[in-house]
């Protein structure tokens, strides 16, 4: 789960990472009040959960109240990558000498959390990696020991020649590490971390929480921005289905995560791309199947649906009932291939006898058929 810059900055303040003076506003009328607390120059920053807001014009520097009001009006009427800007962060602009990058994430190849730092801040880290790979310093962290101070010092010594600044860097890196582990994050990032008047200040802030750890931090749920989330994934969560939207054309409804993965692999093997991962779970009901169909049909990329069920506790006739229900209520224009095997397989077949569903006896046959039917 991603949170906005202004929310991430609140975590920074709680952990005493220096941030600029800021006020969040949601409309033009709030500018005057904000101005009673902020000094010019001021940066107005769109709060949207997508990258590249700066390039889209969502970050503007203003010298006067008139300029600021113009910028606020303009940014609040903007849509950046399909998301309407509803909130603006007004920040006292920091006059700085140099920009740095500091981030913590999980490095899957190293199988470890890593702290990444660079003296080439301001750009995306991907861009730094491309243009100045020699300027990136990476050090591994431990979930138990977190950031050992000698490691932080090694990194600090690469970025700063001044001992006092190295110490300040170590402090900030340690605090950022604590946020990362305390809240089980996927990413915490300061870009840029700026050097201004012998202080290090976090001018931007990004935090992404690991969804799998959220149940341990129920208070974070209140920070969720529903606008930024895939509607179908939200519906799936409510229906207790594991669903991940992907970009291919073959919709998949499968029971069991392992079988769902294997189905996706097979679809790729036969030359197509899955439109989603969807596991209806072990003990399914017609209702779950009905919901699964509703969710898959929301995706306009879907050219056909493969239902792959290995009936154990899941009864094939329950699945068939759900399919019939969906066929009755939705106008389905795409082909459906079903491979239903196991518990109550015959009952399922009888239920679907007069439906437009194409049957397959094996998984491979089902995949081949749906790939054939969805070929453009």
Which residues are near ligand GDP by CB under 6 A? 20, 43, 45, 53-54, 59, 91, 93-94, 96, 122, 191-192, 203-204
CB-CB contact of 99 with 122 (8 Å): yes
Closest CA to 69 of 35, 104, 105: 35
Can you tell me which of 5, 99, 204, 317 binds Mn ion, judged by CB under 5 A?
204
**Closest separation in Å from C-beta 203 to ligand GDP:** 4
CB-CB contact of 5 with 53 (8 Å): no
Closest CA to 148 of 107, 115, 116: 115
- Nearer Cβ to Mn ion (101/243): 101
191 is a contact residue toward Mn ion (CB under 5 A): yes
Q: Reduce the DSSP state of residue 175 to 3 states and report it.
A: helix
**Closest separation in Å from C-beta 148 to ligand GDP:** 29
- Nearer Cβ to ligand GDP (194/367): 194
Peptide bond into 41 cis (omega under 30): yes
The partner in contact with residue 122, picked from Mn ion, ligand GDP, none with C-beta cut-offs of 5 to 8 angstroms by kind, is: ligand GDP
- Nearer Cβ to Mn ion (34/202): 202
**Closest separation in Å from C-beta 177 to ligand GDP:** 21
- Nearer Cβ to Mn ion (191/314): 191
**Closest separation in Å from C-beta 206 to ligand GDP:** 8
Rg (CA), the chain: 26
- Nearer Cβ to ligand GDP (12/96): 96
189 is a contact residue toward Mn ion (CB under 5 A): no
Distance CA 107, CA 111 (A): 6
Could you count the other beta carbons within 10 Å of the beta carbon of residue 182? Answer: 12
The partner in contact with residue 103, picked from Mn ion, ligand GDP, none with C-beta cut-offs of 5 to 8 angstroms by kind, is: none
Contacts of 375 (CB under 8 A, 6+ apart): 272
Closest CB to Mn ion belongs to which residue? 204
Q: Reduce the DSSP state of residue 220 to 3 states and report it.
A: helix
Place of tokens 């006092």: 164
Distance CA 21, CA 248 (A): 45
Q: So which residues are the catalytic ones?
A: 101, 189
**Closest separation in Å from C-beta 178 to ligand GDP:** 22
Report the interface residues with Mn ion, using CB under 5 A: 191, 204
């Amino acid at each position: 789960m991603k949170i906005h810059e202004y929310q991430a900055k609140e975590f920074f303040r709680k952990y005493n990472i220096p941030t600029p003076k800021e006020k969040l506003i949601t409309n033009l009328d709030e500018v005057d009040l904000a101005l009673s607390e902020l000094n010019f120059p001021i940066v107005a920053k769109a709060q949207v959960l997508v990258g590249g807001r700066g390039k889209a014009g969502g970050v503007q520097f203003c010298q006067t109240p008139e300029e600021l009001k113009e910028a606020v009006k303009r940014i609040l009427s903007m849509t950046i990558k399909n998301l309407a800007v509803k909130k603006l962060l007004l920040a006292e602009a920091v006059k700085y000498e140099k920009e740095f990058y500091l981030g913590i994430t999980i490095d899957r190849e190293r199988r470890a959390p890593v702290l990444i730092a660079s003296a080439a801040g301001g750009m995306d880290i991907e861009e730094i990696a491309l243009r100045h790979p020699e300027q990136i310093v990476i050090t591994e962290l431990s979930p138990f020991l977190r950031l050992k101070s000698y490691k932080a010092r090694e990194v600090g010594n690469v970025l700063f020649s001044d001992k006092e600044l190295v110490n300040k860097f170590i402090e900030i890196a340690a605090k950022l590490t604590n946020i990362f582990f305390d809240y089980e994050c996927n990413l915490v990032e300061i870009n840029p971390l700026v050097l201004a008047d012998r202080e290090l200040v976090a001018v931007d802030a990004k935090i992404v929480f690991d969804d799998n750890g959220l149940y341990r931090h129920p208070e974070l749920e209140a920070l969720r921005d529903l606008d930024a989330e895939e509607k179908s994934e939200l519906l799936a969560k409510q229906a207790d289905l594991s669903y991940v939207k992907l970009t291919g054309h073959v919709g998949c409804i499968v029971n069991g995560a392992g079988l769902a993965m294997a189905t996706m692999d097979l679809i790729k093997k036969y030359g197509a791309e899955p439109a989603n991962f969807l596991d209806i779970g072990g003990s399914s009901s017609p209702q779950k199947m009905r919901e699964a169909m509703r969710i898959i049909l929301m995706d306009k990329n879907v050219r056909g649906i493969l239902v792959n069920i290995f009936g154990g506790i899941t009864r094939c006739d329950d699945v068939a009932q759900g399919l019939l229900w969906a066929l009755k209520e939705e106008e389905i224009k795409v082909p459906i291939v079903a491979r239903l095997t196991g518990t109550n397989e015959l009952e399922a077949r009888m239920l679907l006898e007069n439906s437009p569903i194409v049957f397959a006896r094996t998984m491979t046959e089902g995949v081949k058929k749906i790939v054939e039917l969805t070929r453009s």
